[in-house]
């Protein structure tokens, strides 16, 4: 179990559960105050990546996302409302970002719309893309670990700045599972991209 300083009222305790997921919570301190329940993940050890980012609205969280990715050293490729003159419709810009991943011009993508649902649906229509709508760090960690997700979908309505940081930490810290069953499931999804259910 790893302990790290919190915000002055609580300290965060992080550990890995039985399936290897990063989990955590805020502990109550002597003064009786504590922070909200949260999940934590270590900083990313991944090398700088090309990341396509789309949003159908130029919202503060979308701008924060672009800034956060650049601060982490990634090459950001904006689409939709984040790129002047681009088509901001969620189906169009989400597909464009996802297609960069499928074609290999981007390593990963982050697609955003008001709920995140439309963006994830559009991205998942692109063969080779495995988009996951994540509203917390635990889901982001699991999406990378068990589903080998290569596109992160975010809700512009639900994602606050602190939550964005936690989700990105977990997403970039997560690594695809080497478990045989997990790999079989991902391989089956790849077959579905080609209209097949078995070899």
Alpha-carbon distance of 190 to 194, in angstroms, equals: 7
Measuring CA to CA, how many Å separate 49 from each of 70, 72, 101, 144?
Answer: 10, 10, 11, 15
Active site residue 113: yes
Residue 107 near residue 136 (C-beta atoms within 8 A): no
Q: Which of 93, 112, 113, 134 is catalytic?
A: 113
Residue 14 near residue 1 (C-beta atoms within 8 A): yes
Read off the DSSP letter of residue 109.
E
Read off the DSSP letter of residue 138.
H
The closest alpha carbon to 139, from 174, 109, 110, belongs to 174
161 burial (CB, 10 Å; 0-12 / 13-18 / 19+) is exposed
Q: Which residues pair with 24 in a beta bridge?
A: 14
Catalytic residue list: 113
């Amino acid at each position: 179990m790893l302990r790290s300083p919190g915000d002055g009222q609580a300290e965060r305790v992080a550990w890995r559960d039985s399936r290897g997921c990063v989990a955590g919570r805020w502990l109550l301190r002597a003064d009786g105050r504590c922070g909200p329940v949260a999940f934590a993940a270590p900083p990313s050890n991944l090398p700088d990546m090309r990341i396509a980012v789309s949003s159908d609205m130029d919202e503060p969280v979308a701008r924060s996302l672009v800034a956060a990715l650049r601060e982490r050293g990634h090459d950001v490729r904006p689409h939709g409302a984040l790129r002047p003159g681009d088509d901001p419709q969620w189906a169009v810009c989400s597909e464009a970002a996802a297609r960069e991943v499928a074609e290999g011009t981007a390593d990963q993508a982050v697609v955003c719309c008001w709920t995140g649902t439309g963006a994830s649906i559009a991205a998942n229509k692109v063969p080779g893309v495995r988009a996951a709508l994540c509203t917390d760090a635990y889901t982001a960690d699991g999406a990378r670990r068990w589903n080998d997700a290569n596109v992160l979908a975010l809700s512009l309505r639900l994602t606050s700045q602190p939550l964005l940081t936690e989700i990105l930490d977990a997403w970039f810290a997560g690594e695809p599972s080497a478990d045989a069953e997990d790999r079989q499931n991902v391989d089956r999804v790849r077959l579905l991209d080609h209209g097949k259910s078995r070899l």
